[in-house]
């Protein structure tokens, strides 16, 4: 007996499941590059297995409310022990509070890595990027490895603006030497410029209706460092492209360098770089220069040729991955082991310091108790000395002189007030 089975095409099925965007684009990085198995081994540590996230968060929050102090090692243990999305907001809250304490200087690298992986795993990319942008209040920083993971994930979900923001993070840190990062950054920035949407715009506060005057000690002169003070997306992406483009001398990277300088608003440097270029540049890249840019007159004199930029950038990512993947995976696995070893070592050192401090406190208490007991036993033999010690504790202040005393006012008893 034959049984009829209705088949459903792949794309409509993926659309029903909400996975169509993952079907259209595949990731460039292999599953081995993510090192998930090695990263999850940290949970086998006896130190992390004993952690109750809810109780630890409550204890850390109470400690901060009472003393305004936190320990960087405790925050690192809390960050690495979380296995669900229930504590993502609490983790960001603790990272922010640690940033307000003196021990933020001792924050290990594993804390930032754990925060990035957790928020990426549970699709909290907006919260993650906001925290990365607010370096002063959160102190989270990316490295080449985490930046590559984020850009690979954002490429899969077509979030090119997110990928460009990740690339700008390492631009601000002036760390753009990794080949795979460079290829990923150019790919995301180029696709973002093709459709510049999704970058959050910071709106200034509304102007008050009435003029309000505030007394201040002094006024600061307006200053823009053209780096950390950048707020416009076009300038941020432009500086990222310019910094990466100058790393190579081929027409593709030279075109991105010129595009970056045009977006960044560096006309003099644009002219200088353009004058040194003798080979044809990429037409599709230079067409992204805004029409109102002041370098348009210089661009008209440049020789260009057409290329399929997206295909070339994708091939560059694949080539860079083949060259660097084995080294990156090896180094990251070593780093995971080092973090685990350092965490256990710091925990032992902290336990030893607490034990030593408790012993010293017990010794001081014992010395005080012995001293009181000695005073009771030898009270009558040392009575005179005890009286002298008590008298020495009193402080005698000299009398203050408040001037001559005024004579009391004499009242005329025979005075009769007038009648009104």
Rg (CA), the chain: 35
User: What are the CA-CA distances from residue 398 to residues 159, 394, 395 (Å)?
Assistant: 79, 13, 10
- The predicted structure's pLDDT at residue 8: 39
- The predicted structure's pLDDT at residue 378: 78
Give exposure, 320-339, as e/b (b: 16+ Cβ within 10 Å): bbeebbeebbeebeebbeeb
| pLDDT exceeds 70 at position 96 | yes
φ/ψ (deg, to 5) at 174 = 55, 45
Average pLDDT, the chain: 87
- The predicted structure's pLDDT at residue 34: 94
**196 contacts: CB under 8 Å, gap ≥ 6:** 161, 233, 234
Residues 30-65 pLDDT 10s: 999 999 999 999 999 988 998 999 999 999 999 999
| pLDDT exceeds 90 at position 296 | no
| Tally of CB atoms within 10 A around 85 | 13
Burial of 101 (0-12, 13-18, 19+ CB in 10 A): middle
- The predicted structure's pLDDT at residue 148: 96
Calculate mean pLDDT across residues 266-288: 90
Calculate mean pLDDT across residues 383-410: 79
| pLDDT exceeds 70 at position 151 | yes
- Residue 143 CA to residue 75 CA, distance in Å, equals 20
- The predicted structure's pLDDT at residue 209: 80
- The predicted structure's pLDDT at residue 16: 46
- The predicted structure's pLDDT at residue 100: 94
- The predicted structure's pLDDT at residue 406: 76
Q: Are 235 and 264 contacting, i.e. CB atoms less than 8 angstroms apart?
A: yes
**332 contacts: CB under 8 Å, gap ≥ 6:** 35, 38, 145
| pLDDT exceeds 60 at position 299 | yes
Residues 300-350 pLDDT 10s: 888 889 999 999 999 999 999 999 999 999 999 999 999 999 999 998 888
| Tally of CB atoms within 10 A around 74 | 19
Q: Which of 6-20, 164-178, 401-415 has the lowest mean pLDDT?
A: 6-20
- The predicted structure's pLDDT at residue 389: 82
- The predicted structure's pLDDT at residue 4: 36
- Residue 66 CA to residue 150 CA, distance in Å, equals 37
* DSSP strands (E only) in 115-253: none
- Residue 384 CA to residue 272 CA, distance in Å, equals 93
- The predicted structure's pLDDT at residue 17: 42
Calculate mean pLDDT across residues 117-123: 94
- Residue 377 CA to residue 363 CA, distance in Å, equals 21
Q: Would the CA dihedral through 159, 93, 133, 247 be positive or negative?
A: negative
- The predicted structure's pLDDT at residue 300: 81
| pLDDT exceeds 90 at position 407 | no
Would you kindly state where each structural domain of the chain is located, as residue ranges? 34-141, 149-199+230-320
- The predicted structure's pLDDT at residue 111: 95
Q: Which of 95-99, 290-294, 333-337 has the lowest mean pLDDT?
A: 290-294
| pLDDT exceeds 50 at position 2 | no
Calculate mean pLDDT across residues 107-111: 93
- Residue 314 CA to residue 416 CA, distance in Å, equals 113
Q: Which of 146, 151, 145, 185 is nearest to 327 (CA)?
A: 145
| pLDDT exceeds 50 at position 14 | no
Q: Are 60 and 70 contacting, i.e. CB atoms less than 8 angstroms apart?
A: yes
Residues 202-248 pLDDT 10s: 777 787 788 888 888 888 888 888 888 888 999 999 999 999 999 99
Residues 132-148 pLDDT 10s: 999 999 999 999 999 99
């Amino acid at each position: 007996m034959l049984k009829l089975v209705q088949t459903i095409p792949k794309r409509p099925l993926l659309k029903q499941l909400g996975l169509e965007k993952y079907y259209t684009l595949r990731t460039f990085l292999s599953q081995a590059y993510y090192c998930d198995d090695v990263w999850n081994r940290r949970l086998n540590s006896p130190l992390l297995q004993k952690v109750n996230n809810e109780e630890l968060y409550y204890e850390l929050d109470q400690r901060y409310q009472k003393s305004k102090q936190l320990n960087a090692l405790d925050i690192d243990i809390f960050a690495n022990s979380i296995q669900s999305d229930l504590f993502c907001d609490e983790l960001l809250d603790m990272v922010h509070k640690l940033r307000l304490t003196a021990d933020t200087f001792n924050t290990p690298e594993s804390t930032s890595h754990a925060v990035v992986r957790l928020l990426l795993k549970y699709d909290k990319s907006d919260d993650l990027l906001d925290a990365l942008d607010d370096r002063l209040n959160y102190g989270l920083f990316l490295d080449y490895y985490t930046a590559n993971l984020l850009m690979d994930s954002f490429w899969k979900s077509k979030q090119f603006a997110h990928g460009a923001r990740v690339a700008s993070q390492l631009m601000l840190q002036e760390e753009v030497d990794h080949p795979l990062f460079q290829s990923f950054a150019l790919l995301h920035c180029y696709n973002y410029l093709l459709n510049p949407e999704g970058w959050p715009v910071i709106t200034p506060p509304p102007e008050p209706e009435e003029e309000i005057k505030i007394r201040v000690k002094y006024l600061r002169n307006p200053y823009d460092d053209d780096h950390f003070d950048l707020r416009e997306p076009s300038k941020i992406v432009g500086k990222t492209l310019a910094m990466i483009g100058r790393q190579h001398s081929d027409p593709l990277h030279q075109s991105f360098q010129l595009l970056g300088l045009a977006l960044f608003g560096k006309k003099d440097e644009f002219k200088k770089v353009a004058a040194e270029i003798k080979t044809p540049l990429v037409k599709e890249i230079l067409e992204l220069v805004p029409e109102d840019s002041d370098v348009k007159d210089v661009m008209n004199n440049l020789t260009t040729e057409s290329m399929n930029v997206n295909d070339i950038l994708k091939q560059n990512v694949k080539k860079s991955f083949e060259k660097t993947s084995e080294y990156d995976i090896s180094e990251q696995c070593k780093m995971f082991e080092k973090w685990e070893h350092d965490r256990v070592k710091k925990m032992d050192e902290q336990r030893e310091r607490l034990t030593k401090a408790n012993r010293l406190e017990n010794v001081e208490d014992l010395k005080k108790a012995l001293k009181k007991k000695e005073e009771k036993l030898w009270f009558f033999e040392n009575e005179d000395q005890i009286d002298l010690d008590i008298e020495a504790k009193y402080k005698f202040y000299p009398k203050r002189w408040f001037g001559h005393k005024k004579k009391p006012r004499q009242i005329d008893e025979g005075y009769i007030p007038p009648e009104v």
